[in-house]
């Protein structure tokens, strides 16, 4: 398992949708409808790599990270050249709909899976210009910075996300990973313990 897969798997372990108390992130009715529609599209077009990618990114911002990872793998299996064509397709979509943060989120993912990590970060920052309270954008910025070895930036991104919602367990886990990489085992342990406690509480 690669470093990115390990971190995503760890993050997936603490991401969840369910009944949570006021103030913590939870999926909205509109997002659930969108997610359901993407699943229907995949069922209707099971061999369409872009349909799987579209569902994967919707999974990414509706707290279904593990499912999303599986959809991304499926897209690549269906079309080995998908990572090269997807970023060009979504770049055109951004030009057509520059104010749509969901389109930009997809473009960021397409860039990331084409190996263009800094470009992906820049595009996720564009998402935040359009949707300043998007905790998922901060989470993926943190994750990508961590993969790039820019630990201080990864820590800062996780903290920025926690300023929006300090009960998103996966952000605490990403922060813990950053602290451990810095050799700060005490804060790493604290953040990881907090993440696990939040998971138990349903966050």
pLDDT the model gives residue 12: 47
pTM exceeds 0.85 for this model: no
DSSP codes joined into one string, 125-170: HHHHHH-TT-HHHHHHHHHHHHHTT-HHHHHHHHHHHHHH-TT-HH
* CATH label, 133-203, candidates 3.40.50.2300, 1.25.40.10, 1.20.120.1200, 1.10.3720.10: 1.25.40.10
pLDDT the model gives residue 23: 54
pLDDT the model gives residue 105: 95
pLDDT the model gives residue 19: 31
Asked if residues 160 and 138 have their Cβ atoms less than 8 Å apart, the reply is yes
**Cα separation, 140 vs 102, whole angstroms:** 14
- Residue-level pLDDT, tens digit, the chain, 203 residues: 454 444 444 444 434 333 333 356 777 889 899 999 999 999 999 999 999 999 999 988 887 776 887 888 899 899 988 888 899 999 999 999 999 999 999 999 999 989 999 999 999 999 999 999 999 899 999 999 999 999 999 999 999 999 999 888 889 999 999 999 999 999 999 999 988 888 777 66
Q: Mutual orientation of helices 117-130 and 135-147 as an angle, nearest 10°?
A: 160
């Amino acid at each position: 398992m690669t470093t990115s897969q390990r971190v995503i798997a760890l993050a997936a372990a603490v991401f969840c949708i369910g009944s949570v108390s006021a103030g913590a992130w939870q999926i909205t009715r509109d997002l659930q409808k969108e997610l359901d529609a993407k699943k229907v599209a995949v069922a209707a077009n099971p061999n369409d790599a872009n349909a799987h990618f579209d569902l994967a990114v919707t999974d990414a911002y509706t707290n279904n990270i593990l499912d999303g990872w599986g959809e991304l793998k499926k897209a690549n299996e269906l079309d080995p050249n998908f990572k090269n064509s997807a970023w060009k397709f979504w770049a055109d979509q951004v030009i057509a709909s520059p104010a749509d943060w969901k389109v930009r989120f997809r473009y960021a993912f397409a860039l990331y899976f084409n190996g263009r990590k800094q470009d992906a970060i820049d595009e996720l920052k564009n998402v935040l210009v359009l949707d300043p309270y998007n905790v998922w954008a901060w989470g993926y910025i943190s994750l990508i910075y961590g993969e790039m070895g820019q630990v201080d930036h990864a820590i800062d991104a996780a903290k920025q996300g926690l300023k929006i919602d300090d009960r998103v367990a996966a952000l605490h886990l990403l922060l813990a990973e950053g602290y451990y990489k810095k050799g700060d085992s005490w804060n790493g342990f604290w953040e990881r313990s907090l993440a696990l406690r939040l998971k138990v509480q349903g966050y």
